[in-house]
Amino acid sequence: MQRRTRVKICGITRPEDARLASQLGADALGLVFYAGSPRGVDLQQAQAIRAAVPAFVSLVGLFVNPERKQVDDVLACLRLDCLQFHGEEEPDFCQSFAMPYMKAVRVRSGTDPMVAMKAHRQASAILLDSYDPEQAGGTGKRFDWTVARHCVDRSPLPIVLAGGLTQDNAARAIKEVHPWALDLSSGVEKEPGIKDPQRLQAFFNEVNRVRI
C-alpha cells in the first residue's frame, strides 16, 4: 500500500507562518526553545503561534540539553503534542515528562546512529540530522542518505529525515530513503525564522507528488 510522507516544518517564529504551513499540508510544526538558535522563541511568541495552529496539526517543542525546569516551565504554559530533544539527553530524562518524544541523532562520519537509536527505543520517532560542531540543527547541510536508508531498513521506530532538505531534493529524499517524515527549517526560509511562502508551496508540491 502506498503512503504519503509526513512533513514537519521547524523553526516557526510567527503565527502567520504556522497558519500557512498548516494550510499547505504540514503535519507538525516545531518551536525552538533554545537560546543558541536564531529561530528560538519565548513563551509569549509560542502561545501566539499555538493559537494559530488548527486541529490535527501537531505542535512540537524542540530543546537542546535543557535543564528539567526549562521543559517543565514550557509545559506549564503551553500545550505541546510532542517533545524533541536535539542534544545529548539521556533516555531516562527524555521519558520522564510522560509525553511522546522524538530524539534527534546527528549523523557524523565513522559512527553508527543505530547505537543512539537503540538507547532511545521508547521514543516515538528518531530524527536523523547532519552533524555540525557549531550548531545543533538548522544547518542546511545534508549527510549521506545511504546511512539514513540503512537506519530505515533496520529500525523498528519511525525515521524522520532532516538536514539540507529543499524543494530541489525533497522528492529524491523520499524515493531514496523512504522516511516516515521530512523535517526542515532553513530550506523554506527567506531568513532564519522567517518562512518563504513560495518555497513552502514548492516544497509541498514536491512532497505531494511522491508516494512510496
Specify the DSSP class assigned to residue 85: E
Among 17, 129, 151, 183, the active-site one is 129
> What is the pLDDT at residue 135?
56
Among 10, 82, 94, 151, the active-site one is 10
94 is catalytic: no
> What is the pLDDT at residue 173?
97
Average pLDDT over residues 135-159: 85
Domain assignments of the chain as residue spans, ordered by start: 6-208
77 is catalytic: no
pLDDT at 109 over 70: yes
182 phi, psi to nearest 5 deg: -110, 145
> What is the pLDDT at residue 105?
95
pLDDT at 136 over 70: no
What does pLDDT average to over the chain?
Answer: 94
Contact 37, 138 (CB under 8 A): yes
Could you tell me the CATH superfamily of domain 6-208?
Aldolase class I (3.20.20.70)
> What is the pLDDT at residue 2?
82
> What is the pLDDT at residue 112?
86
